[in-house]
Structure 1
Amino acid sequence: MTGTRERIVNAGAELFRRNGYTGTGVKQIVAEAGAPFGSLYHFFPGGKEQLGEEVIRTSGMMYLRLFEIFFVDGAELVPTVEAIFESAAETLRETGYADACPIATVALEVASTNETLRIATADVFTAWIDHGAAGLIAKFGLAPERARELIIAIITSLEGAFVLSRALRSTEPLKVAGAAAAHAARAALVR
């Protein structure tokens, strides 16, 4: 059985991913969590902003684990990069283009208006870059500078493709971005 606090965080993550931070109300979150309204403020005295920060940081670390799923011993770099984008496209198709990255969704909304949430999204993206670069070095033998450049290219391509794919209701942007990221991976191997 999941505790009330965890249910609230999970409900917030789901709703922020689908509706964005500003498009999600605290009443929606507690209803989705099956929790009493006052429990949100019990666990998050700072209200929606504190919950938002927790959701960003928790979700960000969950998505960080995807590197372990894709960056495995014995895998080849280019097919791995292609698989990342194919998996993202499959998720969007299966969810009717509703499930994308909650970190990017929130970052796009609040980067200019909410410093607490901007810092949380920046911390998550930094963790992804650092962890991803370390994985590219350890699993695929890339030089540190190349690994950092490639993981930034992968993350930015993926996040941008999510935005276009959701708006267009098409996985074409993910296919194109995936091909470009695979090309960048090939180039990183040659260097």
Structure 2
Amino acid sequence: MADSGTRARILDATAELYRRQGMSATGLKQISSAAKAPFGSIYHHFPGGKEAISAEVIRGEGIRYGEFVGAQLADIDPIDGIPTLFEDAGKLLEAQDYTEACSIETIALEVASTNERLRREAAEVFEAWLTRLAEWFGQLDITEDQSRRLATITLTALEGAFVLCRTLRTVEPMTIAGYGVQTAVHAAVAQELSDP
């Protein structure tokens, strides 16, 4: 039992460090210290070292963020609720003093051109999120292609807004992005209504 607890602590500590400072800036000794785990336990639980830990962090964070956003989407109208979704993301970022971001985004930016295994892991997470968002937009009277496009616009706007908010230390980009996505949704619905 303690063994699985150590493994979980290593993953949790790694995910938090990646959210705060990225993957490249995070070393195994720092992970060991943050997890309050002996250094040797990292290789005991993750024989593949940092790459193996990172792959599991990507999968775990993908599920965690997916469930968090999914719960929010359940209570939000896909047209009128979009600005609220983005404003809530901005409030959370502001409450964390802009120190944490989506760990999948930070890892993907670092590995997209250098580590094919981790790039694929991040791509699978993003694809799952896009599928979930497209299903959510599927409530509207629009085509599957439009739902997928709106999902891509939403995820792109959200992830980009996280970067700008953290850099500029303001939630304004998140608020503006939310209204931009809402405009795209209105346009998609209007197009569908006007098509014969």
Structure 1: runs of 5 or more not aligned: none
In structure 2, the partner of 1:129 is: 130
In structure 2, the partner of 1:106 is: 107
Per-residue Cα deviation, 1:18-63 (whole angstroms, up to 9, x for no partner): 1000011111112111111111111110000110011011101111
Alignment size in residue pairs = 189
Q: Look up the SS of the partner of 1:79 in the other structure.
A: coil
Indicate the larger mover: 127-136 or 161-170.
127-136
Per-residue Cα deviation, 1:125-152 (whole angstroms, up to 9, x for no partner): 1111112212221x44542111101010
- CA RMSD in angstroms comes to 1.6
Please give the alpha-carbon distance, in whole angstroms, between the structure 2 residues aligned to 1:28 and 1:181. Answer: 39
Change (3 A) 1:141 1:39: farther
- Letter of the aligned partner of 2:48 in structure 1? G
In structure 2, the partner of 1:21 is: 23
Please give the alpha-carbon distance, in whole angstroms, between the structure 1 residues aligned to 2:172 and 2:74. Answer: 27
- Rg comparison, structure with higher value: 2
- Choose which of 6, 31, 34 in structure 1 pairs with 2:8: 6
Please give the alpha-carbon distance, in whole angstroms, between the structure 2 residues aligned to 1:19 and 1:133. Answer: 31
Structure 1 residue 188, shift from structure 2 partner = 2.4
Please give the alpha-carbon distance, in whole angstroms, between the structure 2 residues aligned to 1:159 and 1:77. Answer: 18
In structure 2, the partner of 1:164 is: 164
TM-score scaled to structure 1, two decimals? 0.92
Structure 2: runs of 5 or more not aligned: none
In structure 2, the partner of 1:55 is: 57
Contact 1:67/1:132 (CA < 8 Å) preserved in 2? no
Please give the alpha-carbon distance, in whole angstroms, between the structure 1 residues aligned to 2:142 and 2:99. Answer: 34
In structure 2, the partner of 1:69 is: 71
Please give the alpha-carbon distance, in whole angstroms, between the structure 1 residues aligned to 2:128 and 2:6. Answer: 27
Change (3 A) 1:185 1:70: farther
Structure 1 residue ranges (4+ consecutive) displaced by more than 4 angstroms after TM superposition: none
TM-score scaled to structure 2, two decimals? 0.90
- Letter of the aligned partner of 2:42 in structure 1? L
- Letter of the aligned partner of 1:9 in structure 2? L
